[in-house]
A = this chain, B = another copy of it.
Amino acid sequence: AHIQLRRGMAKSKFEYVRDFEVQDTCLQNCWVVVRVDGRNFHRFSDQHNFTKPNDARALLLMNHCAKSVMEEIKDICLAYGQSDEYSFVFHRKSNWYKRRASKFMTHVVSQFASSYVFYWNEFFPEQPILYPPGFDGRVVLYPSEQNLKDYLSWRQADCHINNLYNTVFWALVQKSGLTPAQAQDRLKGTLSGDKNEILFSEFNINYNNEPVMYRKGSVILWNKVNEISKKVIKLPHEAEEKEVEVCRVRNQPVVLHCDIINDAFWEEHQNVLSAES
């Protein structure tokens, strides 16, 4: 008992260390973007035999994890992913955890990481996961809607450039038998047009016919869906129970693969960035 008392006192004696935490509030009225990136995913994809240049299973797993993050954190109004990265946009009016940057990034990145392992088997039924992967995360603020759209355009343009490059690179390696070094050499200094030309003339590939998820990445938005479920009820004036259909409107994250650089996307989805969404 005596010892415990001392400890109880000790606690308050030590509690001053809480004052060393500093506030990291995100500026009000700015769009908050959390970007998650795979750590050492080059190695991870090698060891788990990812198909090159794109592994559909891996991309679908990424999308599933992103949806899992959004289901947990409703203040995210949009997400965009490609390759081993995913960006999550919190609405400018969000006051989630008082807009603390560390809360934004650690909740998102940990939910993403645990989901990645949790759902792995669903997408890679024949490839066991060998070790727990790491991710990093960061927070960036965008004061205007245009800045936010430009951020997302930047990531989609990055997707395009990398995917075009990788598509040609792996065609040269896998189909023409070049070594990686030779393929790299061949592509040095080429423009987009040159790469398209190589694909078409040497491999009979029209790049624009490649799967749209590879070329454009994935956008996730909230969508209202009617969820119909069956329920057994017993009405007061009836002897028998009976089964009825119950319809409930539910918000659900939905994955799209489309251009988000041009205005058409934003015109079609005006409510995404509006105050009420």
Contact = CB atoms under 8 A, between A and B. Distances in A.
Contacts of A157: 7-8, 10-11, 14
Interface stretch (A106-114, A239-247, A263-271): A106-114
Contact of A111 (B36, B113, B142): B113
Interface in A112-139: 112-119, 129, 131-139
Interface string A11-25: 100111111111111
Interface residues of A, number: 79
A111 B116 CA distance: 11
Interface string A93-104: 000000001110
A177 interface: no
A275 interface: no
Given A4-B160, A143-B29, A105 B107 contact: no
Contact of A14 (B25, B107, B153): B153
Interface stretch (A75-83, A144-152, A217-225, A227-235): A144-152
A195 B119 CA distance: 44
Given A21-B140, A138-B21, A106 B109 contact: yes
A176 B92 CA distance: 52
Interface of A is mostly: helix
Nearest to A40: B72
Contacts of A140: 17, 20-21
Contact of A164 (B4, B132, B160): B4
Given A27-B20, A114-B113, A197-B1, A192 B8 contact: yes
Given A1-B192, A4-B195, A141 B23 contact: no
A141 B25 CA distance: 13
Given A27-B143, A161-B11, A192 B132 contact: no
Nearest to A100: B138
Interface in A184-198: 191-193, 195-197
Contacts of A114: 113-114, 116-117, 132-135
Nearest to A145: B144
Nearest to A8: B192
Contact of A196 (B1, B30, B116): B1
The 6 closest A-B pairs by CB, nearest first: A4-B192, A1-B193, A143-B143, A14-B154, A106-B137, A114-B132
19 contacts: A1-B191, A4-B191, A7-B192, A11-B157, A17-B151, A20-B27, A20-B29, A20-B141, A20-B142, A23-B23, A30-B143, A101-B102, A102-B139, A105-B106, A106-B138, A107-B136, A109-B113, A118-B129, A143-B143
